[in-house]
Amino acid sequence: MSYNLLKGKRGIIFGALDENSIAWKTAERVHEEGGTFVLTNAPIAMRMGQINQLAEKTGSQIIPADATNLEDLENLVDKATEILGGKLDFVLHSIGMSVNVRKGKAYTDQNYDWTHKGWDVSAVSFHKTMQTLYKKDAMNEWGSIVALTYMAAQRVFPDYNDMADNKAYLESIARSFGYFFGKDKKVRVNTISQSPTPTTAGQGVKGFDGFIAYAEKMSPLGNATAIDCANYTVTLFSDLTKRVTLQNLFNDGGFSNMGVSNEVIDYFTEE
Ligand SMILES: NC(=O)c1ccc[n+]([C@@H]2O[C@H](COP(=O)([O-])OP(=O)(O)OC[C@H]3O[C@@H](n4cnc5c(N)ncnc54)[C@H](O)[C@@H]3O)[C@@H](O)[C@H]2O)c1
């Protein structure tokens, strides 16, 4: 169903890798709601080729950019405003990666070069993106910037490893930069804290199957899907949420406020 919530709005969507990606679903929904956008991903992700299908389907152009590289980001913002014919109304940062997680290094045995790479890709890239948009004055007033995060920023999930710290950093950047973007440009900045979701990044976390099944049983509404996340993001890009800013918003079926559920109690209760 379409409500035309994003008619006439323009933006950039980072992080669509394949059809499971949250950014992929978001691009499809934004397109359905009348928004136009440029797709971007790291050059290495491009080579896998799937993003071309999404571009075709949504009538979008793709501009490769490593989100840790300022020159790439500057080129991206310049080209995107040129292609779309004006300043931007929305930006989705849907990027996360930990080399320690990927290579199976425990939290208690970090390779700090990898730790550094992980926070650059997962958190500082959000600052770099916003700083580029800010300096180029590339956002329209009442525009909206969203990044995706996970509750391991607030609570302990041991196998989430250094991504927990990266997400805490990301959420803090959203608040800190959100202040300046709000004051100086009337742009809102929020993070969505999403349920575990079966994507390439999600499935890279050790014990993901147990993790997602547990969250499903703990949440009164069940886990939020990638499509749920896409829909929530559409509302944050729309004019219906104009004064929501500096927030970390949970899209998690209620998980974050649960202590225990009857399903989980039943599992541990001997008959
Ligand atoms: N899947 C989950 O369980 C879950 C839960 C909460 C939050 N999130 C967050 O959602 C976001 C999207 O992840 P996803 O689950 O859709 O997985 P995904 O693997 O589909 O997307 C991650 C994206 O990050 C991109 N990326 C990595 N390094 C990059 C770089 N240097 N420059 C530009 N792009 C780069 C990848 O190419 C990929 O497209 C991430 O921030 C992730 O942490 C995911």
User: Which residues, other chains included, contact 197 with Cβ-Cβ below 8 Å and sequence gap of 6+?
Assistant: 22, 212, 223, 224, 225, 226, 229
Tens-place pLDDT, residues 255-266: 999 999 999 999
Tens-place pLDDT, residues 123-132: 999 999 999 9
| Strand intervals (E) in 58-157 | 61-62, 88-93, 139-149
- Domain-embedded: residue 1: no
Q: 229 with 186: CB under 8 angstroms?
A: no
Q: Which residues of 202-211 are buried (b: 16+ CB within 10 A; e: fewer)?
A: beebeebeeb
The owner of tokens 């071309």 is: 52
Q: Whose CA is nearest to atom 24 of ligand 1?
A: 95
CA of 252 to the centre of ligand 1 (A): 17
pLDDT at 34 over 90: yes
Pairwise CA distance, residues 252 & 204, whole Å: 20
Pocket of ligand 1 (CB under 6 A): 14-15, 17, 21-23, 41-42, 45, 66-68, 94-97, 121, 148-150, 194, 196-197, 199-202
For residue 139, what pLDDT is reported? 98
Per-residue pLDDT band for 206 (boundaries 50, 70, 90) equals confident
Structural domain of 97: 10-268
Q: What does DSSP assign to residue 254?
A: T
What pTM was computed for the model? 0.98
Question: What's the CATH number where 155 sits?
Answer: 3.40.50.720
Number of domains the chain is built from? 1
Per-residue pLDDT band for 203 (boundaries 50, 70, 90) equals confident
| For ligand 1, mutation pick of 148, 173, 208 (most atoms within 8 Å of CB) | 148
For residue 118, what pLDDT is reported? 98
CA of 131 to the centre of ligand 1 (A): 20
How distant, in Å, are the alpha carbons of 19, 159, 213, 219, 251 from that of 263? 31, 23, 11, 10, 21
**Whole-number percent of the chain with pLDDT over 70:** 99
For residue 271, what pLDDT is reported? 66
Q: 40 with 12: CB under 8 angstroms?
A: yes
- Domain-embedded: residue 161: yes
- Average pLDDT of 144-155? 98
